[in-house]
Amino acid sequence: MKYSVYLLILVNVVFFLWETGFRGEGGGPQELAIPSELERILLSSEAADSEAAELEPGDAELKSVEDEQTDDTPTPEVKPPPPSDCFLIGPSNQARADELRGLIKSHTGEVEVVAKPGEVPAGWWILFPKAPSLEAARENRRMLAGKGVADMWVFEKGSLQWAISLGLYPGRAEAEAAQKQFTDKNIVTEVAPRLVQGEVYWLRIPWHRPRIELEEIVQLLNTQDPESKIPAPIACP
């Protein structure tokens, strides 16, 4: 009986040592760590988007600048417009165009007179400047009457509204001569054409040299004869 008790104690000791030595103290089956839903594996495209989202604003701008700097696309060359090979001088009536053609042809060579639709002078006004309103125009008329002007007309519509006509003459020279009588009375006036629709005439000048050379010819002719008043040339459309 005594040996049976010793044997039972020995078996319990061996079993205890086997439990603690083989499995380890505090041991037990360990759980396998499974990734949670938030820790899922990212695809390559999602990873790229995530990386871009984590960039600071300054980093994104820097990356954009670097991308632009690596663009090897050549910048298109901006070429200046080709020089005009034709110029026009005008407009004027046919008689004036023929006169100017005679003046310019000896300096430029070939010159032709071409007709185009446009506004042509049909007489020349002597005008007292436009007023801001009808009442102001009437006040101007009373002032002119007080200075001895009898023949006058107030424009009540159109481009000359509230100006006062002091006479209409067939040519500019006649209008400028008549203007002197108003200047002597300290009345400020201007000479302006009466324009109507018709045909206007231009000088067409073929030109294959620098534009400034043609402009210098016109300037020279105007200097030699200030009465010629040749307009500056413009490029043909």
How many whole angstroms separate alpha carbon 89 and alpha carbon 102?
13
Q: What is the mean pLDDT of residues 149-165?
A: 94
Q: What's the pLDDT at 84?
A: 65
- Locate the DSSP E strands across 129-223: 153-154, 164-169, 190-206
Identify which of 86, 170, 165 has the alpha carbon closest to the alpha carbon of residue 127: 165
Residue 13 is assigned to a structural domain of this protein? no
* pTM of the predicted model as reported, rounded to 2 decimal places: 0.47
Do residues 166 and 152 touch, judged by C-beta distance below 8 A?
yes
Work out how many domains the chain is built from and give that number: 1
Residue 202, class by beta-carbon neighbours within 10 Å (0-12 exposed, 13-18 middle, 19+ buried)? buried
Work out the pLDDT band at 229, boundaries 50, 70, 90.
Answer: confident
Query: Which residues are 118's β-sheet partners?
Result: 198
Residue 39 lies in a domain: no
pLDDT recorded at residue 122: 87
C-beta separation of 134 from 156 below 8 A:
yes
The set of residues, in sequence order, having a beta carbon less than 8 Å from that of 228 and lying 6+ positions away, is 100, 103, 221, 222
211-224 and 94-108 helices, crossing angle to 10°: 120
Tell the residue number behind the tokens 């009437």, with chain if given.
Answer: 138
Distance CA 20, CA 128 (A): 126
Within 94-133, residue ranges assigned H as helices are 94-108
- Domain assignment of residue 92, yes or no: yes
Read off φ and ψ for residue 27, nearest 5 degrees.
Answer: -75, 180
Mean pLDDT of 35-61: 49
pLDDT given for residue 39 in this prediction: 47
Cβ contact 115:201 at 8 Å = yes
User: Is pLDDT above 70 for 6?
Assistant: no
In a domain, 70, yes or no: no
Q: Kindly state the DSSP code that residue 123 receives in the 8-state scheme.
A: E
Residue 15's pLDDT is what? 65
The reply to whether 113 falls in a domain is yes
Distance from C-alpha of 143 to C-alpha of 135, rounded to nearest angstrom: 13
Strand partners, 195: 121
Q: Which structural domain range is residue 153 located in?
A: 86-235
Q: Is residue 81 in some structural domain?
A: no
Is residue 167 included in any domain, yes or no? Answer: yes
- Confirm whether 68 is domain-assigned: no
Whose tokens are 């413009």? That residue is: 234
203 beta partners? 89, 113
**DSSP symbol at 33:** P
